[in-house]
Structure 1
Amino acid sequence: MPVKTFNWNFVTDQRIQQLKGQVRAKEERIVQLETENAVLHLKLAEYYEIIGRSNSKAVQLCSLYNEQQDLRRNTYLNLIQICQEVQKLKQELKDFQSFSRLLVSNFHHQYQECLSQIVDAVQGTQIENENLQSFQARTVDLEQSLQEINELYQVEKRKRKELHNNLVELRGNIRVHCRIRPLLPFDTESVEPAFQNRSISLSEKVIHAMDDETVLVRCNRPGHPLFNKTFQFERVYSPLESQTIVFGDVRPLITSLLDGYNVCIMTYGQTGSGKSYTMLGPHSESDAISPSEADHEMGIIPRAAGELFRLLSKNPTVNPRVEVSIVEVYNNELFDLLAKDSSGTIVGVKRDVITTKEGKSNVPLLTYELVESPAEFMKLINKSLQLRVRHPTLVHADSSRSHLVVTITLTMSVPFDSYVDQQSSQKLCKEILCTTPQKVMKGEKPSFPLRGSSPASAPLDLTEQQKQVQTKLQLVDLAGSECIGMSGVTGTVLRETSFINRSLAALADVLGALSEHRGHIPYRNSKLTHLLQDSIGGDAKLLVLLCVSPCQKYLAETLQSLGFGSRARQVQRVQAKRRNLLVSGKSK
């Protein structure tokens, strides 16, 4: 019988397979455990984060608790101080009561003395009444004499004013007019809490027009004695004087534009003082008026355009060309309000102002629009005003945040002979006024020609050349100066206010340097003064219209504006000159 052999290889293979299965099971268990370990680590990290946040909140709660403890401690100390103040007030009240009793006793004694004095005064009054009757007869005679003297005074006053204006023009001084606006509803609104407990009414009228040349300011400030201060200007407008009256004094400057002079008219004053109303008339929804009042309420800019085209229509032979540019100076940057994008929409583009080799200010790439009527001119103005930056403040609900400069450039043909004759006449007049007194004092004869003779002039042959004169009218509506505390501005508007005040301060610095005849005039400290360099320090006829508020609330700002105007009057510039002839587009 054969012996069966045991198959060890088979057993071994079976055992190996069994062990491999156990290994795979262990490996799967290991992967499972590693996954669970990773999940546990994530949960542990979350718990650590929760514990960290809890610790942070605990620290905050501790800090809050400490602050509350400090607040309680300070409150307790304040209560102790209040109690001490109450005890002090009680003692002062007792002292006041004793003083009052003494005062009543003294008053009774003085009353008896006054009563006896009144009896004596009554007796004296009877005697004075007899003298008064005799004085009344003399008063009638004096009143008649005074009326006659007053009529003579008014005549002499008008003559003096005409002579003064002529002297101002010859000296080159800046003409300054002052306009006092009427009290408005917002003058009694938006009063700061710091002002509410004052005994002075902030809406009280303290600025008055004494006459057409004098402004009276009643300086009534808390802690200061009451005193009156006066300012003199070439013209002062009361609150009752209309836009028509104001433009009546501006109209001769438009005629000067056609006579060959550069002209600049600017309004200066605090926010809400009536600058934009004076220059443009009603332009916001709050200023809306009926069509019947539109002509009466128009400002200087639309009236100047109408007057310019009216004068040009009377003399069509001059072949005029009227071009307009409009810019605003916002945050010390210059923006062209007539520049258009590729679609033809006016968008306003930033420009720069430079100084030419001749020392004149110039704005490269500035847009000029040709206009042929006042309607076209005002259409450009209205479109530009829509781009002008405005923001409401506590002082004014529609405050302009930029300086607006409207420039009208007039090019016209003139008879050369008449132009030379007028220039020679002006030179002759200046020689008479400036040199004659010195020569008369020395016993010499004046060197100007006799009446009927003509001054010698160099022969000029321009018969075959174009005879043109180019003049410029600048109409400037300055942004208003502001007291930051009163206007209540913050953020972007606060930054705008800072730039506005700095540019106006730069304007004052330029005028100060001009009045003191300094060697360097800081025109480039501001884009505004750099742009207006030719008008402020050049030979243009410059009129500054001060706009001021009449109420007590804005007394400090009003005094600043009036002081600015007084300094501007002292500036002596070169005499206003007529523009030279343009030959083939160049100055000859």
Structure 2
Amino acid sequence: MPARGGRWGSFWELRARQLQRQLQAKEERIVELETENALLHLKLAESREVAARGRREETPRRGHPSSALTRLRRAAQKLKQEMEALRSSSRGLLQSYREEHRDCLSEIVRAVQTAQLHHEALLAAWPAEAGRLERSLRDVTECWRQEQRERRRLQEALAELKGDIRVLCRIRPLLPFDDKAQEPVSQNSSVSGGVVHAVDDETVLVECTRPGHPLINKTYTFERVYGPAASQRVVFEDVCPLLTSFLDGYNVCIMAYGQTGSGKSFTMLGPHCQEEPAPPSEPCGDAGIIPRAAGELFRLISEDASRSPELDISIVEVYNNDIFDLLANDSGRVASGVKRQVLTTQQGKKAVCGLTYQSVRSAAEFLTLVGRGLQLRAKQPTAVHAESSRSHLVITVTLATATSSRGPSGRPSAPALQLDQSASTEPCRPGPRSPATRKRQSPPMPLRTRGHGLGQVAPDPLGQVHATLQLVDLAGSECAGVSGVTGPALRETSCINRSLAALSDVLGALAEGRGHIPYRNSRLTHLLQDVLGGDAKLQVIVCVSPGQRHVAETLQSLGFGARARQVERGRPAPRKLR
């Protein structure tokens, strides 16, 4: 009824304006006719004067009227008739205009009265409608909160059933370079296009027969197996629940593991992994987990206006067993990374001294920082991969919520976390880094750093760190004989393989329940100690190549994934969101 009343009110206002315009036009026509009437009267007077003058001139010859006088009289008579017709028409037109004017006024009065009635009805109906809508909103809000609580309960039950360490396996498609130096294989392997097959959604089969080598026929079971045809979107669907857990206060780590060229960087970053990742506005293409996660995180944040979380980003790489801060700006100059040290806080947590953090407020800012870090990441072409990553990339997203106590800079202040100085005797200072395999970039935006030297680190910029999300793109293990690297690249290969072996040793020790876990055998495992042996939800994506010539590395990667599945840890607990 409110909508209909408003529509009729607008109609009558429009009709009244139309009638007023018609009335004004007719009144203008009356003025024109009256002006024309006056002109005709003037012409009639002139004609009469001419006729009178003619009569005076013809008086001496009264018995002989001229033809001019006759024509003049006829013209005068015609003018009289036209004047009478004009007067009659003017009177009729004026009368019709007056009647239409009265009708218009009557319609305007009725429209105003109807509008007033509708207005009064709206005033009476709106309070009741507003109350109904408010009650409906409260009911929907309560249902939404109940659904949120139920979702969290079911998600935690599912996570408990699946385990807090989940291992997924992705088989990349067979590529043209896989045919190079291909040795003869069994008929079954040749027909299927590779030696690694996804038997079902949870089982991987490695089947290979080579002359002079023993038969290989092994199966591995994981939480999920993706075949060569699986899209990036399908892989990301298994990541989405972890992003929700992260916003709920759980520590989360998503890690890609595998030999070089097996598709780790493609899975994590997408086809633009050597430059800036694809923007989140284009998630339908081949965008990897990191750009999709950026868009999904800010979408989830925008859906819950009751919380005001802020995200801080740090990007480091572990290169030649050293940790480099890829967001650091060394003394105002463009740097290819600043060396950092991992220290232990008095709370038993690992912290990177002096690490640079950057607040982000959108997925676009997130990916801009990732693109900057990728420009500085160590890369080197090899015989196996044209853009082989020579370092382990770790992107850390810190979740915190806003507080009312803020320092002079507008950020909250909190007491500093004290570091355990006995954990390391190495000074926390920048270190040199080989520029041979680095790309340069434009000067970065102003950044913040946490840490002011050995002995203390600055608190989280918000004072309330609730959870961390770590996105890890590990460097690929490789055989020096196959990759053909020499010189400095050979040292990089050695460091990569040793760090991955240390990671495997840590998971093996955790799976066996040993008393001592060798975290300090590598900077990589030392950096990820809280993830591997702590309370984080860890998801490992094992990427494997289907080619026969990579079967040894494939078996090693699948064995790593099987070992990770055997790790049993305590159930992770969320930090309470304030």
User: TM-score, normalising length from structure 2?
Assistant: 0.59
- Counterpart for residue 397 of structure 1: 386
Shift of 1:163: 11
CA deviations over 1:98-152 (Å, ceiling 9, x no partner): xxxxxxxxxxxxxxxxxxxxxxxxxxxxxxxxxxxxxxxxxxxxxxxxxxxxxxx
Please name the residue that 1:548 is paired with.
544
Cα distance change of structure 1 residues 164 and 183 upon mapping to structure 2, 3 Å threshold: farther
Query: Which residue of 2 is the match for residue 501 of structure 1?
Result: 497
* Residue identity in the other structure for 2:552: A
For residues 443-496 of structure 1, the C-alpha deviation after alignment (integer angstroms, 9 at most, x for no partner) is xxxxxxxxxxxxxxxxxxxxxxx9956110000000000011111111110000
* Correspondence for 2:224: 235
Say if 2:259 and 2:554, in contact at 8 Å, map to a contact too: yes
Q: Which residue of 2 is the match for residue 355 of structure 1? A: 344
Task: Name the residue aligned to 1:272.
Answer: 261
Conserved in 2, the CA contact under 8 Å of 1:169 and 1:576? no
**Aligned residue in 1 for 2:374:** 385
- Deviation per CA, 1:192-216: give whole Å up to 9, x if none: xxx6688998995111111111111
Equivalent residue letter for 1:516: E
- Write the distance in 1 (CA, Å) between the matches of 2:501 and 2:274: 31
Distance change in 2, residues 1:198/1:298 (3 Å): closer
Give the Cα–Cα distance (whole angstroms) in 2 for the partners of residues 508 and 532 of structure 1. 13
In the TM superposition, 1:114-153 aligns within 5 A as: none
Gaps in structure 2 of 5+ consecutive residues: 1-152, 404-461
- The equivalent of 1:226 in structure 2 is 215
The answer to whether the aligner puts 1:539 opposite 2:555 as a matched pair is: no
8 Å contact kept, 1:482–1:497: yes
Structure-2 separation of matches of 1:344 and 1:275: 32
Q: Does 1:570 align with 2:559?
A: no
Does structure 1 retain, via aligned residues, the 8 Å contact 2:164–2:569? yes
TM-score scaled by length of structure 1: 0.58
Q: Specify which of 159, 165, 186 is matched with residue 177 of structure 2.
A: 186
Q: Structure 1 residues 205, 199: closer, same or farther in 2, change over 3 A?
A: closer
| Equivalent residue number for residue 255 of structure 1 | 244
SS across alignment from 2:323:
strand
Match of 1:477 in 2: 473
Distance 1:581 1:292 in 2: 29
Query: What secondary structure, in the 3-state scheme, does the structure 1 residue paired with 2:399 have?
Result: strand
Partner of residue 318 from structure 2, selected from 325, 329, 349:
329
- Distance in 2 separating the partners of 1:543 and 1:375: 25
| Contact map agreement 1:172 1:576 (CA 8 A) in 2 | no
Within 5 Å, give how 1:78-117 maps onto structure 2: none
Per-residue CA deviation, residues 369-409 of structure 1 (Å, 9 max, x unaligned), is 01100100111111110100000111111100000000000
Question: For residues 220 and 308 of structure 1, do their structure 2 counterparts lie closer, same or farther at Cα, with a shift above 3 Å needed?
Answer: same
Identify the structure with the greater helix proportion: 1
SS at match of 1:296: coil
The change in CA–CA distance for 1:286 and 1:272 in structure 2 (over 3 A counts) is farther
* Contact 1:279–1:301, Cα closer than 8 Å, also in 2: yes
Q: Aligned partners of 2:340, 2:262: CA distance in 1, in Å?
A: 29
Equivalent residue number for residue 528 of structure 1: 524
- The code of the aligned residue for 1:182 comes to P
Letter in structure 2 aligned against 1:472? T
Instruction: Spell out the pairing of 1:403-414 with structure 2 (5 A cutoff).
Output: 403-412=392-401
Q: Which amino acid aligns with 2:550?
A: Y
Distance 1:288 1:545 in 2: 19
1:198/1:514 Cα in 2 relative to 1: closer, same or farther (>3 Å)?
closer
Q: 2 CA distance for matches of 1:324 and 1:523?
A: 24
Q: Using the alignment, how far apart are the partners of 2:487 and 2:299 within structure 1?
A: 46
1:291-349, CA deviations, whole angstroms, 9 ceiling, x for partnerless residues? 99774110001111111000001113311111000000000000000001333645410
1:174 aligns with 2:165: yes
- Structure 1 unpaired stretches of 5+: 1-161, 415-465, 583-588
Structure 2 distance, partners of 1:288, 1:573, is: 34
CA 1:308–1:294: 2 relative to 1, 3 Å: closer
Which residue of structure 1 lines up, in the alignment, with residue 17 of structure 2? Answer: none
CA distance in 1, matches of 2:551, 2:362: 42
- SS for the counterpart of 2:493 is helix
CA–CA distance in 2 between the matches of 1:285 and 1:507? 25
Secondary structure, counterpart of 2:236 in structure 1: helix
The 3 A distance-change label for structure 1 pair 197 and 363 is same
Q: 1:339 to 1:377 in 2, by over 3 A?
A: same
1:43-62 counterparts in 2 under 5 A? none
* Aligned residue pairs, count: 366
Between the aligned residues of both structures, percent identity stands at: 65
The answer to which structure, 1 or 2, has the higher relative contact order (CA under 8 A, 6+ apart) is 1
Question: 1:167: Cα distance to partner?
Answer: 7.0
Compare CA radii of gyration and give the structure with the larger one. Answer: 2
